[in-house]
Amino acid sequence: MADMKELANLVKELEDQLVTCIRCGMCQSVCPLFEQTRKEADVARGKLALLTGLMENMFTDPDGVNERLNRCLLCGSCAANCPSGVNVVEIFIKARAILAEYKGLSPAKKLIFRQLLAHPGRFDAMVDWAGRFQGLFAKPDANAQGTSCARLVSPLLSNRHFMPLSSNPFHKTLPEKGVTTPGSGPKAAIFIGCLIDKIFPGVAHASLKVLSHHNVGVVIPPGQGCCGIPSLASGDRDSFTRLVDHNLALFEKYDFDVLVTACATCTSTIKKLWPSVYKNPSPGMQKKLTALSEKTMDINQFLVDQVGIEPIETGLEDAEKEIVTYHDPCHLKKSLGVADQPRQVIRAAGCRLEEMAGSDKCCGMGGSFNVYHYDLSSAIGTLKEHNIEATGCTAVSTGCPACMMQISDMLGKAGASIRVRHPMELYARALEKLTP
Amino acid sequence: MIQKSILEALQKIVGPPHLLTQKEDMLTYSYDAAVLDPVMPAAAVIPETKDQVGDIIALCAENQIPITVRGSGTNLSGGTIPYSSGIVLLTGRMNKIIEINEADMYAVVEPGVVTATLAAEVEKRGLFYPPDPGSMAVSTIGGNVAENAGGLRGLKYGVTKDYVMGLRFFDSQGNYIKTGSRTVKCATGYNITGLMVGSEGTLGILDQVILKLIPAPKARQAMVAVYDTIEQASETVAGIISARIVPATLEILDNFTIRAVEDFSKAGLPKDAAALLLIEVDGHPAVVTEEAEQVKALCLKMGARTIDQAKDDAQRDKIWAARRAALSALAQLKPTLVLEDATVPRSRIPDMVRALQDIAKKYRIDIGTFGHAGDGNLHPTILTDRRNKEEFYRVEQAIEEIFDVALSMGGTLSGEHGTGIAKAPFLEKEAGYSSILFSRQLRAALDPSNILNPGKITGV
Ligand SMILES: Cc1cc2nc3c(=O)[nH]c(=O)nc-3n(C[C@H](O)[C@H](O)[C@H](O)COP(=O)(O)OP(=O)(O)OC[C@H]3O[C@@H](n4cnc5c(N)ncnc54)[C@H](O)[C@@H]3O)c2cc1C
Ligand code: SF4
Ligand code: SF4
């Protein structure tokens, strides 16, 4: 390991962003983790102070700071509420990369990120394989969310109700050359995203159905990779950069007006992190990243703002409509300010939208946070579960597959008979009823 | 450093997860919202019960270990910057609302209850807890009491001290003291409650607070008046008060702040206006209508360019959003923000605003001024970069001059942010040496080993 002074110098890259924190402490009011632990090191102000400490070479090793920095959902609630406009998530992501590069990745993470995620083909094959064998480890749970619980008592899985891998991931149903359909109006390229591809392929099929109903020309390049957020969250900027290269090269071959995704996390990563965290971009590369970022859009936003939708005529009285509540993914509302459009989609799908308390409170997933801090993640998720149930809904809708997983887990554990659906699924279902 | 045996004893009191000693954690308890140098404590303890607090204090008293209580660490005067040989006592787990008594209109709470949480619970019952510091979404009741926090509604409803009916606290030896009561009136003993409010953790450690509640006002009306000169705005403030109207809120924004807010939030504020007054009257619906008309007429008479009345809740929210955005908008301009709260008798507001503009010019620094014009409590907000030593030196000089000007007008160094360590060196200017001596003697008698938040208020 290089010496701490060198690390301090590396962290200096963040100085101009770090000094914008005025230590007001207002982030305490919105941090889902702080709500649970009430420890300063768990909230943005504390973590920013720790990074400043690292920059000032106050520590003899980086592990304590690293460990605290990783106790974070990267939900951006702090940033969205920060009076001083501190770009907290970007700072944390860059800091994780600096620390990981300095310390070196753990062998397990190296295997996952370098050998698997960064090679889309290999990753798909591995997941296929795992999908075939998952029955050995998990028994399907006859519940509304379609989750499984761990068959073997595994310390890693604890009592999770995790979503099974789909036996038919989306990429397998794609024709070899991908999809290119003509249409009127703006042409949309679709970025699928790992979770939708491998766990919720139904969301991708629903999205396609919706876009084709509205006569939107669609391109889906085959061989898409991960957006890179899991690598980034673990500080692996190299794998991230390689993934961005891969995806960028792929989409470059096609002509389209907007890049849409049905995954809030992918949208936010492509829009915000691709241009800001890519390692040493050339000016040409930077331009491409920025251009693509500007073209990228959440699918609900695209549908409502650019395509325009009308309520689907269901012939149902208000009282007869299905009651649906909506959870705001942090990566949609706090990161991109998209909150109204998914709600409009749900209403247009003929559902009665019943708002839950704290609809924009984080569900507690936070990607790898859920893996390493399952207890805290569950405690946060349980608050969400209570709020969902209190609405008396039969389905909860949200625009992010990661939130869908967490909410399914929480509802499954609570034994609630509430389904979890992406707005596109609700809308596509309503279209189906319209034209049987 | 603290002896290992003492740390073990502390750990025994609160349980292992609730004693923190690692350097990383200490760094996170080394600062608050004041622009001051951080100091790391030797340990942080997080008690949950009254008995644990009592045991911690007794242990510290015996071993002469300084204790700094920390609520949410949002104070602006360095009140929670600890002693390097001392501990920080966190109130985060002492956050229960013990009772809300609707019949007798009071609440009993633990010190770690967040102000906004209490306000919301009280509101659900049709009652009202008026003190509303800008930080209420995070600040604790313990911190509010210990700083005598104010807020936007100070003019009509007063500040925290006006709502504290009684307290339970530990003294420096770990004795449990009860003061005040659950009755509206209470004439027994010294008014220790009054002494404890604003004592910044130097006289005792609060365990319970009994707060007065009032009925919620039935109606309210918000308005914005736009002015071409700051004098006209200030004269309106004086005019409203002398017409015997007491608005719930009467806030001013100067041109620098208006421009910052507009650039930041595009709320549609007139960037060329010299000042805005944001006014809200509340109470019985008939009175509200009448007073709103009077206020409007007064504003126009005093030269307001326009005055707009909120027609519904959405418009009202928009008005207050502009005020709430003031700090954010200013904070985005430069890395360091020094939020002052020198306060003058309200008739001197025009003089004070002018003096602030002169000071900004003289020291070549940016000052945005907004605040509670109705009660004379302005917030000159200095924007700078602490890393620029030369500029920060000018900032410090400017702050001193702001203090001098405020005092020369019969004002005070701090309307609501407290003394802490930021203003301790200047207190003598305001109060004179005898009152500092008196305070020090009081402290020495009550805390002979000087373990309760040393260095704050009285300087020792
Ligand atoms: C953005 C912003 C806006 C603000 N707006 C306002 C405003 O409008 N009006 C206003 O008055 N202030 C304002 N403040 C200042 C600050 O929020 C208040 O002083 C508040 O009361 C502090 O509460 P806290 O819980 O953060 O206390 P802390 O900062 O943790 O502590 C403050 C003091 O109280 C003592 N203390 C805390 N708990 C106890 C206890 N249980 N027993 C004994 N002593 C205790 C501490 O030792 C310290 O001296 C603002 C601050 C910020 C950052
Ligand atoms: S809200 Fe923003 S400026 Fe305030 S402490 Fe948190 S990160 Fe810093
Ligand atoms: S990103 Fe979320 S979890 Fe992390 S500090 Fe901010 S609010 Fe807390």
pLDDT digits (tens, 9 = 90+) for B179-213: 999 988 888 889 999 999 999 999 999 999 999 99
Q: What confidence tens digit (pLDDT) does each residue in A278-306 have?
A: 999 999 999 999 999 999 999 999 999 99
The more confident residue out of A118 and A188 is: A188
For residue B191, how far is its CA from the centre of ligand 1 (angstroms)?
A: 22
pLDDT band at residue A156 using 50, 70 and 90 as cut-offs: very low
Set of chain A residues whose Cβ sits within 8 Å of the Cβ of B336: 19, 22
Nearest 5 degrees, angle CA B449-CA B455-CA B459?
A: 110
Set of chain A residues whose Cβ sits within 8 Å of the Cβ of B386: 19
Closest CA to A46 of B324, B44, B143: B44
Quote the CA–CA distance of B3 and A240 in Å, as a whole number: 47
Given this model, what pLDDT does residue A137 score? 47
For residue A23, how far is its CA from the centre of ligand 3 (angstroms)?
A: 15
The more confident residue out of B322 and A386 is: A386
> Which residue, by CA, sits nearest to atom 2 of ligand 1?
B135
- Summarize the confidence of residues A158-178 as an average pLDDT: 79
Please state which of the ranges A89-98, A115-124, B22-31, B99-108 shows the lowest mean pLDDT: A115-124
Specify the amino acid at residue A313. E
Residue A255's alpha-carbon distances to A214, A270, A288, A389, in angstroms, are 19, 18, 14, 44
Given this model, what pLDDT does residue B396 score? 95
Nearest atom of ligand 1 to the alpha carbon of B32: 29
Distance (Å) from the C-alpha of residue B304 to the closest C-alpha of chain A? 30
Is A85 within 8 Å of chain B by CB?
yes
Q: How does the average pLDDT of chain A come out, rounded?
A: 89
For residue B404, how far is its CA from the centre of ligand 1 (angstroms)?
A: 25
**Is the Cβ atom of B70 under 6 angstroms away from ligand 1?**
yes
Q: At A261, is the secondary structure helix, strand, or coil?
A: strand
Task: Please check the confidence at residue B140 and state whether its pLDDT lies above 90.
Answer: yes
Q: What is the 3-state secondary structure (H, E, C) of chain B?
A: CCCHHHHHHHHHHHCHHHEECCHHHHHHCCCCCCCCCCCCCCEEECCCCHHHHHHHHHHHHHHCCCEEEECCCCCCCCCCCCCCCCEEEECCCCCCEEEEECCCCEEEECCCCEHHHHHHHHHHCCEECCCCCCCCCCCEHHHHHHHCCCCCCHHHHCCHHHHEEEEEEECCCCCEEEEECCCCCCCCCCCHHHHHCCCCCCCCEEEEEEEECEECCCEEEEEEEEECCHHHHHHHHHHHHHCCCCCCEEEEEEHHHHHHHHHHHCCCCCCCCCEEEEEEEEECHHHHHHHHHHHHHHHHHCCCCEEEECCCHHHHHHHHHHHHHHHHHHHCCCCEEEECCCECCHHHHHHHHHHHHHHHHHCCCEEEEEEEHHHCEEEEEEEECCCCHHHHHHHHHHHHHHHHHHHHCCCECCCCCCCCCCCHHHHHHHHCHHHHHHHHHHHHHHCCCCCECCCCCCCC
Q: How many beta-carbon pairs below 8 A join chains A and B?
A: 83
Quote the CA–CA distance of A21 and B432 in Å, as a whole number: 36
Q: What confidence tens digit (pLDDT) does each residue in A56-94 have?
A: 999 999 999 999 999 999 999 999 999 999 999 999 999
pTM of the model as a whole:
0.92
- Tokens 């420890």, located at residue: A39
Given this model, what pLDDT does residue A128 score? 58
CB contact under 8 A, A68 and B24: yes
Task: Please check the confidence at residue A132 and state whether its pLDDT lies above 60.
Answer: no
**Is the Cβ atom of A29 under 6 angstroms away from ligand 2?**
no
Closest CA to B116 of B104, B105, B129: B129
Closest CA to B254 of B238, B281, B278: B278
> Which residue, by CA, sits nearest to atom 4 of ligand 3?
A72
CA closest to A20 among chain B residues: B335
Quote the CA–CA distance of A419 and B185 in Å, as a whole number: 56
Q: What confidence tens digit (pLDDT) does each residue in A387-435 have?
A: 999 999 999 999 999 999 999 999 999 999 999 999 999 999 999 887 6
Set of chain A residues whose Cβ sits within 8 Å of the Cβ of B92: 38-39
Given this model, what pLDDT does residue B434 score? 95
Nearest atom of ligand 2 to the alpha carbon of A43: 6
CB contact under 8 A, A38 and B92: yes
> Which residue, by CA, sits nearest to atom 2 of ligand 3?
A75
Q: What confidence tens digit (pLDDT) does each residue in A309-350 have?
A: 999 988 888 888 999 999 999 999 999 999 999 999 999 999
Given this model, what pLDDT does residue A148 score? 59
Q: Which two tokens mark B427?
A: 């207190």
Task: Please check the confidence at residue B49 and state whether its pLDDT lies above 50.
Answer: yes
- How is residue A422 annotated by DSSP? -
For residue B246, how far is its CA from the centre of ligand 3 (angstroms)?
A: 41
Distance (Å) from the C-alpha of residue B92 to the closest C-alpha of chain A? 6
Q: What confidence tens digit (pLDDT) does each residue in A182-237 have?
A: 888 899 999 999 999 999 999 999 999 999 999 999 999 999 999 999 999 989 99
Q: What confidence tens digit (pLDDT) does each residue in B87-111 have?
A: 999 999 999 999 999 999 999 999 9
pLDDT band at residue A139 using 50, 70 and 90 as cut-offs: low
What is the value of ipTM here, to two decimals? 0.94
- Summarize the confidence of residues B49-58 as an average pLDDT: 98
Task: Please check the confidence at residue A136 and state whether its pLDDT lies above 70.
Answer: no
* Strand A322-327 versus strand A296-298 pairing type: unpaired
Task: Please check the confidence at residue A152 and state whether its pLDDT lies above 70.
Answer: no
For residue A79, how far is its CA from the centre of ligand 3 (angstroms)?
A: 8
Q: At A296, is the secondary structure helix, strand, or coil?
A: strand
Task: Please check the confidence at residue A37 and state whether its pLDDT lies above 50.
Answer: yes
Is B138 within 8 Å of chain A by CB?
yes
Using CB atoms, which residue from B27, B93, B137 is nearest to A49?
B27
- Summarize the confidence of residues B170-183 as an average pLDDT: 95
CA closest to B335 among chain A residues: A20
Burial B145-162 (b: 16+ CB within 10 A, else e): bbbbbbbbbbbbbbbbbe
Please state which of the ranges A20-24, A115-119, B306-310 shows the lowest mean pLDDT: A115-119
CB contact under 8 A, B72 and A46: no
Using CB atoms, which residue from A24, A29, A46 is nearest to B28?
A46
* Strand B249-254 versus strand B366-372 pairing type: antiparallel
Set of chain A residues whose Cβ sits within 8 Å of the Cβ of B332: 20, 84-85
The more confident residue out of B399 and A140 is: B399
For residue A366, how far is its CA from the centre of ligand 3 (angstroms)?
A: 9
